[in-house]
Structure 1
Amino acid sequence: MATKDNYTKSLRFSVDTDTKLGKLALNFGYSKFQFFNQMVEYFHRTKKDPADINDELLKRTLSRNHDAYTSFIKTQEKVLLIPMHQSVERMIRNQEQIVKQFNGQVLSANKELLKQQQDQGQKFKDTESLMKLIYEQLQSRKKLKEQFLQLFDGYVKNRESIGAFKAREREELTEQFRKQITDL
């Protein structure tokens, strides 16, 4: 701490200035003496002019820093952002081409699949028609066999009823039976 010998200098200022100094020191939690020493140290270190309220030095420093930041951002934009943007655009175009080709292939595959399904459906219809025709022919054949058996049974009964010695009647019966079979 400072001794009384270090306090050889005194400073005179108005009561109004003393009031302002007291309020400022109280706001920052210093004594008037400590606050005054801090002010002097601040202006000594920063080389600022206390009369310069607008703080031109600060403005120039901020302006230089702003220019430096702007230059840095422009450099980053040229080095990183623009190439990255171009790469992303190129990638998007490539993806669009891939999707377009993929969609084209899928569409053509779907058309081919649909055509095959339609062909298969037509084959099923044709097979069904053929099966109906075969069934009808089988039914017709079955009926034909039944009619033939009826004719044959009638022939056998008639032949047996004619007897053994009537050859001419047997011959007529055989011809009649052949004609009935031909009519089937």
Structure 2
Amino acid sequence: MTEQSNYNRTVKYTTATDEKLQKMADQTGRTKRDFFIQMVEYFYKTKKDPKDINDELLKKTLIKNHDTYIRFIRTQEDRLLIPLKEEIDRMINNQREIVKYFNEQVIGANKSILSGQEMQAAKLKETDKLLQAVFGRIDSKEKLKAKFLLILNGYIKLREEVSSLKNREKDELAQGFRKQVADL
């Protein structure tokens, strides 16, 4: 601080004011002199009027700053936020259309594939039934040989026994064996 000799001025005020000054100085942990000097500096630097309890200058400054901030926010909203929101909405709509298109295509392809698989499965069942029927009628080569040999041996044996038979009876016998071979 300044030296003691520089303090040569006197300020007179009431006892009530002195009590208030002492109370504020005590609250801040300063002497009354230091508090008074700092109080004068404060009003000098801020150019505030001590009579202005509502601090109109501060209010005007705050309102001005508030208006500046609002204008800035509105400008940013017009330049950035609204176009950004519109672009995002457009992208979302495009994504929805793409998803809808893919869903239609995929679902259509899946239905087509599923119906093709169902038709193929039905035809495979029919083919299996037909093959089982064919295999049921076709005997193996060995079985056919065995049946044919049985018929041939029976024919030869009967022919030798009936060699004394007439031609007509021989023809009937041959006809019977031909029918058996045809039934194979």
Give the whole-Å Cα distance in 1 for the aligned partners of 2:111 and 2:118. Answer: 10
Cα separation, partners in 2 of 1:28 and 1:35, compared to 1, 3 Å: same
Give the whole-Å Cα distance in 1 for the aligned partners of 2:7 and 2:36. Answer: 13
Task: Find the counterpart in structure 2 of residue 39 from structure 1.
Answer: 39
Task: Find the counterpart in structure 1 of residue 2 from structure 2.
Answer: 2
Cα separation, partners in 2 of 1:25 and 1:55, compared to 1, 3 Å: same
How far did residue 153 of structure 1 move? 2.4
Q: Which amino acid aligns with 2:54?
A: N
Q: Aligned Cα RMSD in Å? A: 2.4
Task: Find the counterpart in structure 2 of residue 115 from structure 1.
Answer: 115
Cα separation, partners in 2 of 1:98 and 1:81, compared to 1, 3 Å: same
Task: Choose which of 148, 162, 182 in structure 1 pairs with 2:179.
Answer: 182
2:21 and 2:32 in contact (8 A); partners too: yes
1:55-103 C-alpha deviation (Å, 9 max, x unpaired): 1111111100110000000000001000001100111111111111111
Question: What is the 5 A alignment of 1:1-184?
Answer: 1-139=1-139, 148-162=148-162, 166=164, 168-169=165-166, 172-182=169-179, 184=183
> Which secondary structure state, in structure 2, belongs to the residue aligned with residue 35 of structure 1?
helix
How far did residue 159 of structure 1 move? 2.0
Q: Tell which deviates more after alignment, 98-107 or 150-159.
A: 150-159
Give the whole-Å Cα distance in 2 for the aligned partners of 1:19 and 1:157. Answer: 156
How far did residue 144 of structure 1 move? 7.1
Q: Tell which deviates more after alignment, 144-153 or 18-27.
A: 144-153
Unaligned 5+ residue runs, structure 2? Answer: none
Q: Tell which deviates more after alignment, 133-142 or 94-103.
A: 133-142
Give the whole-Å Cα distance in 2 for the aligned partners of 1:145 and 1:177. Answer: 19
Question: Percent identity at matched positions?
Answer: 45
Q: Tell which deviates more after alignment, 123-132 or 140-149.
A: 140-149
Give the whole-Å Cα distance in 1 for the aligned partners of 2:162 and 2:73. Answer: 127
- TM-score, normalization: structure 1? 0.86
- TM-score, normalization: structure 2? 0.86
